[in-house]
C-alpha cells in the first residue's frame, strides 16, 4: 500500500493527541529479500526521511525527495494485522530511527507478538524491542559527489560524509540487540574499509562479532545492475570469510514498487 503525499517530512505530526504518528511512505506485504532472514514472508513498514543521502539509495522517495502520509501507531498495527500470514515485520526507510517515537511503534508490534527487524544505517540508537538490528553502515563509496549526486549538485556530499558513521550508536545497537552488519558493496575497493570498520567494532564492543554476522551484498537497483556485481561480491565474501546476501526482491521483481 503506497501512501504517498506531498508533505514535508520535517513537519511535525498533524495529530496532537497522545497517539504517536509517523510519516509512512509504503506499507506492504512481501518477502524479506536480504540478510539472515532472506525469504521470510514479511510486512514492510517504510518510513519517510533520512539523515543521509547515499547516491545509490533504492528508496529515493524516502530520502532525496521524501513523500508520505501520516499514520498513527494504531492504524499501522491494524494494517499490519490484515496480513495474517506474516509474523515478521520489517521497519525500514529512509532511516526509521530518526523518528523520536518509533520505539513506541516497535514496542507495540512486539506486544502483538511480531518479530521486528529494523533496517538502519547505524547512526542512531533507540531503546526499544528490536528483534533484529539490520545495520548497514555507509561506506565512502556511498558519498553523493557531484558526479554521482542524483540531483547533480553534490550539496549533500560533506554532510553525508560527516554523518555516515557514529561509532557510539553503532556499538550500542550491536551490544543491545541481535544484529547483522550488512554492507552494500559497489566494487572490490570497498573491502578494506569494511574490514577496518569491523575491526573497530570488535575493539569497541564486548559482544562477539562473528564473520557470519557480516554480510556483503551487491549494489544495484535492478536485476541487471546486480547481476554485473554479484559474482565479484560473492568472491569477496568467500575470500574474507563473510556471508554473501542476495537481494531476492530485486531478483524476483526487479525494481517494481511495493515489492
Model pLDDT for residues 102-154, shown as the tens digit of each residue: 999 999 999 999 999 999 999 999 999 999 999 999 999 999 999 999 998 88
Alpha-carbon gap, residue 241 to 250, rounded angstroms:
25
> Distance between CA 224 and CA 230 in Å, rounded?
10
Question: Percentage of the chain surpassing pLDDT 70?
Answer: 90
Closest CA to 76 of 29, 24, 134: 24
Say what the pLDDT of residue 83 is. 97
C-alpha neighbours within 13 Å on the C-beta side of residue 202 = 12
Say which range, 16-25, 40-49, 212-221, 242-251, has the weakest mean pLDDT. Answer: 16-25
Full-model pTM: 0.91
Full set of structural domains in the chain with CATH? 21-253 (3.20.20.70)
Mean pLDDT in residue range 89-96: 98
For the stretch 184-213, pLDDT in tens is: 999 999 999 999 999 999 999 999 999 999
Please compute the mean of the pLDDT values over residues 34-54 and round it to a whole number. Answer: 96
Residue 4 DSSP SS3: coil
Does residue 157 have a pLDDT over 80?
yes
Going by pLDDT thresholds of 50, 70 and 90, the confidence category of residue 34 is very high
**Cβ neighbours around 241 below 10 Å, total:** 10
Confidence of residue 254 (pLDDT cuts 50, 70, 90): low
What is the DSSP track for 16-73? -SSS-EEEEEEEEEEE--SSTTTT-EEEEEEE---S---TT-S-HHHHTS---EEEEH
Amino acid at each position: 500500500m503506497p501512501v504517498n503525499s506531498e508533505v514535508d517530512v520535517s513537519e511535525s505530526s498533524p495529530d496532537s493527541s497522545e497517539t504517536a504518528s509517523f510519516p509512512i511512505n509504503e506499507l506492504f506485504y512481501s518477502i524479506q529479500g536480504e540478510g539472515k532472514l532472506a525469504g521470510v514472508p514479511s510486512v514492510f513498514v517504510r518510513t519517510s526521511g533520512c539523515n543521509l543521502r547515499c547516491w545509490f539509495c533504492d528508496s529515493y522517495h524516502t530520502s532525496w525527495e521524501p513523500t508520505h502520509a501520516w499514520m498513527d501507531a494504531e492504524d499501522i498495527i491494524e494494517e499490519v494485522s490484515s496480513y495474517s500470514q506474516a509474523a515478521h515485520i520489517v521497519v525500514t526507510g529512509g532511516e526509521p530511527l530518526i523518528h523520536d517515537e518509533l520505539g513506541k511503534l516497535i514496542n507495540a508490534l512486539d506486544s502483538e507478538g511480531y518479530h521486528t527487524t529494523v533496517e538502519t544505517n547505524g547512526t542512531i540508537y533507540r531503546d526499544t524491542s528490536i528483534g533484529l538490528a539490520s545495520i548497514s553502515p555507509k561506506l565512502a563509496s556511498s558519498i553523493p559527489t557531484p558526479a554521482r549526486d542524483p540531483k547533480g549538485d553534490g550539496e549533500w556530499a560533506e554532510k553525508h560524509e560527516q554523518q555516515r558513521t557514529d561509532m557510539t550508536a553503532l556499538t550500542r545497537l550491536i551490544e543491545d540487540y541481535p544484529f547483522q552488519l550488512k554492507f552494500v558493496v559497489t566494487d572490490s575497493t570497498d573491502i578494506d574499509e569494511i574490514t577496518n570498520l569491523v575491526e573497530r567494532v570488535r575493539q569497541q564492543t564486548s559482544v562477539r562479532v562473528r564473520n557470519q554476522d557480516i554480510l556483503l551484498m551487491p549494489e544495484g537497483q535492478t536485476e541487471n545492475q546486480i547481476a554485473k556485481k554479484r559474482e565479484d561480491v560473492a568472491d569477496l565474501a568467500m575470500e574474507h570469510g563473510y556471508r554473501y546476501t542476495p537481494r531476492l526482491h530485486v531478483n524476483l521483481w526487479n525494481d517494481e514498487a511495493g515489492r
